[in-house]
């Protein structure tokens, strides 16, 4: 029996078919539909599904899936059991993707304290220490910073992430690119370096769409080969199926 993992984010929807710990199919779209889900699971023996949504429409997605899949879990950090202790104080406002990534990272590195940096629309910096999710911090993501400079000024152009590393920009576009990229780099370095210097076994994991730019810039960070959110959601689904 296979699992369907549905991660509804701020700007995209990701659906992944998992067999054991192996991804056998995946698709990404801006919008979901019954037909889209049917196409993803066609040809696979999918018996369970989990839905996590940052948009608050998890129940709508689940209602779409239940006629196709016998066992469907809507993951909410405040109500869904997880195999990782959750010490966050306002669980009802905790993003499902943040807790799922923490569960996934803890399963991948069970003997370490972990910092998870997710470079998405927002940048989240979260901590798993002594086998528990403690919480973390949130700041604007790379693309969000570029859009803010463009939309809240009269003349600054809209720029995007770059691999170039310059001491200073020689054009306005370069100045914006380097300002944002170096600003994020220094911000994240300020979290990672003190954390890794602490006593004990520590790991910093980078994930998300823009992680590839910063794993090159910040030493000693691990780029997540498999996505911790997907891995964590699959672990949470299996855990709940065992409880039932």
Residues forming the active site: 97
Alpha-carbon gap, residue 230 to 235, rounded angstroms: 9
3-state secondary structure of 114: strand
String of DSSP letters for 16-49: EEEETTEEEEEEEESS--HHHHHHHHTTS-EEEE
Alpha-carbon gap, residue 6 to 52, rounded angstroms: 6
User: 226 with 23: CB under 8 angstroms?
Assistant: yes
Q: If we measure between CA atoms, which residue out of 1, 17, 2 comes closest to residue 230?
A: 17
Rounded to the nearest angstrom, the gap between the alpha carbon of residue 170 and the centroid of all alpha carbons in its chain is 34
- Report helix, strand and coil shares of the chain as percent, to nearest 5: 35, 30, 35
User: 221 with 204: CB under 8 angstroms?
Assistant: yes
String of DSSP letters for 211-234: HHHHHTTSTTEEE-SS-HHHHHHH
3-state secondary structure of 116: strand
């Amino acid at each position: 029996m296979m699992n369907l993992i549905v991660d509804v984010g701020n700007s995209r929807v990701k659906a992944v078919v998992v067999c054991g710990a192996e991804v056998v199919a995946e698709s990404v779209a801006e919008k979901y539909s019954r037909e889209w889900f049917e196409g993803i699971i066609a040809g696979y023996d999918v018996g369970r599904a989990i839905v996590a949504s940052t948009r608050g429409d998890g129940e709508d997605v689940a209602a779409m899936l239940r006629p196709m899949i016998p066992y469907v879990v809507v993951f909410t950090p405040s109500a869904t059991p997880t195999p990782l202790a959750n010490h966050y104080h306002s669980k009802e406002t905790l993003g499902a993707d943040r807790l799922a990534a923490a569960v996934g990272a803890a399963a991948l590195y069970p003997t370490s304290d972990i910092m998870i940096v997710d470079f998405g629309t927002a940048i989240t910096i979260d901590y798993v220490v002594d086998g528990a999710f403690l919480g973390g911090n949130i700041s604007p993501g790379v693309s969000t910073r570029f859009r803010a400079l463009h939309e809240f000024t009269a003349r600054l152009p809209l720029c995007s992430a770059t691999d170039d590393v310059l001491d200073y920009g020689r054009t306005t576009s370069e100045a914006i690119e380097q300002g944002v990229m170096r600003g994020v780099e220094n911000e994240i370095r300020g979290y990672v370096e003190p954390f890794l210097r602490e006593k004990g076994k520590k790991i910093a994991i980078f994930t998300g769409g823009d992680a590839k730019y910063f794993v090159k810039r910040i030493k000693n960070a691990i780029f997540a080969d498999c996505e911790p959110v997907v891995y964590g959601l699959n672990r949470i689904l299996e855990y709940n199926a065992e409880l039932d």
